[in-house]
Structure 1
């Protein structure tokens, strides 16, 4: 079974995967990368739930022959003023999240 490496990109920082994982197909690597990114976001939100702004993450999957696929996730959290709630409760902020996930095959 081929060995694939999952290098994590967070903004400009790259954390290379030096061990890798054996997976049966390229499609399995894409699924594993997407699952890993969702786990990273979940942990990030639990550790800092009110951090506003945009976070860019990517996993570059490679094998011994070179790049295979890149899976990117952009997570954005912004405060939105809610006028109806503000008059009833004082000052109130609701939050809107946007998550985009996509994979791009590399050749």
Structure 2
């Protein structure tokens, strides 16, 4: 499907998720119906893939690892980019990473 979209020139872009009470929250979602609004920096970047949906018996420990990886990478001077599909986790808090993308954790989206 992705190959066909690219061949047809249907390329995704990213738009801001409106966050009340927070200025400059860098939360993004993909769309095919808006210009790309991501802000680009020249800092070195690392993408952290979130743990996805929580399941009985596992979930929060993966989120804990993502959050602490983002904190450590930020302390090392990297721009941290979190990709997660679960808005109900600590890794999707506005102050956990420099940018957050709400996307499915699939080959096509990552």
Same fold (TM over 0.5): no
Q: Which has the higher strand share?
A: 1
Q: Which has the larger radius of gyration?
A: 1
